[in-house]
Amino acid sequence: MLDASRLEAVMRYHERTKHHFNRFAPGPGQLDWANQPDPFRRYAGAPLIQLTILKTEEEPLPPAYESLYASRAVSGAPVSVRALSRLLEYALALSAWKQAGGTRWALRVNPSSGNLHPTEGYVLIGGIAELGGTPGLFHYAPAEHGLERRADCPPALFGRLMRGFPPQTFLVGLSSVYWREAWKYGERAFRYCQHDAGHAIGTLRIAAATLGWSARVLDDVADATLEALLGLDRAADFEGAERESAELLMAVWPGDTAAVPLHLDMQLVKELARQRWYGKANRLSPEDPVPWEIIDTVSAASRKP
């Protein structure tokens, strides 16, 4: 629970940044097109494993929409690189490119306010031959529909991290780049990042259901634990680049809903942080982001302890 002072800070943010009948909430006033942030985060030096966009004619008929909400209506597919590719394609991938004049931009399957897509996705998964054969943490690169290996995770450590979860469980983490939204929406960016994280939860759950998988938000994972797990607290990896803010962690596993732990052991996560890591985050804007102090304040006030 939030203490009184933190809750007050969140409520002040809400009151200050909401629209009114006679005026809009404060914003940048104009768009600095020269400093528009790149919609695609990449980690230079991290090995990229290309995934395959699955062709419709090669896939079995998709389950009926109604069956996605019925227990055991869809048989669970085993975890494989093909199934993982399908999950990410249905949940976080690009859906189309559009062009007007000399401007070209991408659309994605997960909705986003202003099509700015502040949400980044990560996967911590056991050994799959096509992903290198050993467990690891990966960053999802939607433009390439690929996975960048960010860290190695020894099989024994992965087994201890996943103790208590159903067989073949893997983790999906989400983070937000506040600057991608603040560039256009200013102070309201924090609102939209939470909104977009909710969109990504929805697309991940529906994509999982098409495979007969379950997906559950792990409500009790602290933000510090999530930052360490996803490498977001690795200052050297983000030197000169815009940082990401931890949002949430989901467990995904084949089969029906089951009781799962809602937290992770921070000591085990610290062991992962001591393993080999790959890559350095790209800079998204040519100039420094415009600071919005109130976003930093509400982000700090709403951290999960």
The pLDDT, as a whole number, for residue 66 is 86
CB 126 within 8 A of CB 251: no
To the nearest whole number, what is the mean pLDDT of the chain?
94
The tens digit of pLDDT for each residue in 152-178 reads 999 999 999 999 999 999 999 999 999
DSSP 105-154: EEEESS--GGG---EEEEEEE---GGGTSS-EEEEEETTTTEEEEEEE--
Q: What is the pLDDT of residue 67?
A: 86
Predicted pLDDT at 1: 59
Q: What are the angstrom distances between the C-alpha of 182 and each of 10, 32, 66, 118? A: 17, 11, 38, 10
Residues of the chain with pLDDT under 70: 1-2, 55-59
Residue 60 token pair = 């079995």
Half-sphere exposure (Cβ direction) of 117: Cα atoms closer than 13 Å? 22
Q: What is the pLDDT of residue 182?
A: 97
Rounded Cα gap, residues 236 and 284, in angstroms: 16
What CATH number does residue 75 fall under?
3.40.109.10
For residue 99, how far is the Cα from the chain centroid? 26
CA dist 109 and 117 (Å) reads 11
Structural contact between residues 275 and 150, judged by C-beta atoms closer than 8 angstroms: no
Please write the tens of the pLDDT for every residue from 37-47: 999 999 999 99
pTM of the model: 0.95
* pLDDT value for 284: 98
Query: Token match 């690009």: residue?
Result: 94
Number of domains in the chain: 1
As a whole number of Å, the end-to-end CA separation of the chain is 9
Q: Which domain holds residue 163?
A: 4-301
